[in-house]
Amino acid sequence: MQTYEEMWRNLGLNLDAHEGLLKALSGFYSSIYASQKNRPNAMKYFDFVISEVHGLRIKELQEAKAQGKKVIGTFCVFVPEELILAADGVCIGLCAGAEAGFELAEQYLPKNTCGLIKSFFGFKLARLCPYANSCDLVVGETTCDGKKKAYELFNEFQPVHVMEVPQTKSENAKSLFHSEVMRFKERLEALTGTKITAERLQKTIQIVNNKRRALNRLNELRAAPIPPISGLDSLLINQIAFYDDPVRFTNAVNELCDELEERIKNNVGVARGDTVRILMSGCPMAIPNWKIPAIVEGTEAVIVGEESCVGVRNTRNTVAEGCKDVNEMLKAITERYFQIDCATFTPNTERLNHIVEMAETLKANGVIHYAIQFCQPYTIESKRVEDMLASKGIPLLRLETDYSMQDVEALKTRIEAFKELISP
């Protein structure tokens, strides 16, 4: 990646620290992913994307900016990608999955702030994220108190637009969110100078829907008795979905699914049919947060699904197609995004029911509920998840951790014990 040094310098990165980050990421990735057996051939594309995580994709962003396009960074699945693309922008998920720049972040944030918030702040302050430094606008959202207050501070370093996400699923709340979708559209049009027309929006709705359909196809194939792909690889694909070119990414996922269908027909997989099957549930796992999945599958269990924002919560529903005008399309976008069952909502029976449904459909032997330390919405809601699953006879292990590696052995002990408990 030495050929990208001038580009990184122009983006204002700390070159020495950034080089250290890439070396650490490369080693971490190799130790976790290269050790897997019988991976699908189509995973080579996703390996290549990771190898160029701060290289080729960043170069593409700079080329887009040179053509007059605006780069929009996001942290949450409530931000409508369809609108960004329709305004001729590029939508990018930002760095928030590693313990980077925490000492700098804690000059602004309390130490007991969740790792995801400290991570996106730390990456920016430590000058380690070329994605953030490429952005013309960062879009935040009010899914938790920590985020909404942190965005006030983040705005001092980079322009931030905050979308108000309601806390209930009432009709009044839906009207509020619809007004936020409208306000976001107006902000994008002002930023890009591009009018979001019905023709443009219809096209981008199809692009994003096709990406969701490809990922849902992947999710469904994981229900096969012999798992055709590992949970680690599936998580990686869902993580890459947030920053790769959407059309290119969709084609790669469908090519992978074609291969997985053949593997299923031929009883080829990454594990035996009697392998313990785990459903992951809870907080998002932003790249490169692979700690828990690596431990789980290191015990020779297999993760068959992710009830997460970096999983089916991001892909479950599509926006209605065939609307006649922009106003109808904006209502359809509101309807689709309002179905997201984030823990920010109260009550949140939708999510509880979805977890049960996924566990049964994917034939999971048990569920691991993952929460980032100090994430109040998911840590508090985990008790209701546990009670709901208990009523259905589905075992649950609640884990609360951060991005450090200090608790790996303790986590491994608990996960191995859970695996033994639920082994068929």
Per-block mean pLDDT, blocks of 10 residues, the chain (424 long): 85 97 94 94 97 96 98 97 98 94 96 96 97 97 95 96 97 97 98 98 98 98 98 98 98 98 97 96 96 97 98 96 96 97 96 97 98 96 97 98 96 98 92
pLDDT at 3: 84
DSSP string, 288-329: T--HHHHHHHHTT-EEEEEESTTTHHHHS--PPP--SSHHHH
Count of positions (residues) in the chain? 424
- DSSP label at 4? G
Q: What is the dihedral of CA 326, 330, 333, 334, to 10 degrees?
A: -170
Q: What are phi and psi of 299, to 5 degrees?
A: -85, 5
Contacts made by residues 177-185, CB under 8 angstroms, sequence distance 24+: 177/334, 177/337, 177/338, 178/330, 178/331, 178/334, 181/80, 181/83, 181/330, 181/333, 181/334, 181/337, 182/330, 184/79, 184/80, 184/83, 184/139, 185/83, 185/87, 185/330
Architecture in CATH of 202-318+342-422: 3-Layer(aba) Sandwich (3.40)
Single out the residue of 89, 114, 118 nearest to residue 105, CA to CA: 118
| Of 355, 363, 356, 423, the residue nearest 223 (C-alpha) | 363
Q: What angle do CA 117, 120, 123 make, to 5 degrees?
A: 140
Rounded Cα–Cα distance for residues 263 and 236 (Å): 20
Peptide bond into 40 cis (omega under 30): no
- For tokens 């299923």, name the residue: 264
Cα 141 to Cα 124: distance, rounded to the nearest angstrom: 18
Strands (E), 146-187: 160-163
User: Which tokens is 204 given?
Assistant: 């981008």
The answer to whether 407 and 372 are in contact (CB under 8 A) is no
Q: Would you say 314 and 125 are in contact if contact means Cβ atoms under 8 Å apart? A: no
pTM recorded for the entire structure: 0.96
On the CB side of 173, CA atoms within 13 Å amount to 12
Domain range summary for the chain, segments of one domain joined by +: 202-318+342-422
Distances 130 to 9, 18, 25, 92, 95 between C-alpha atoms, Å: 10, 10, 15, 11, 9
Q: How far is CA 353 from CA 360, 385, 392, in A?
A: 11, 9, 11
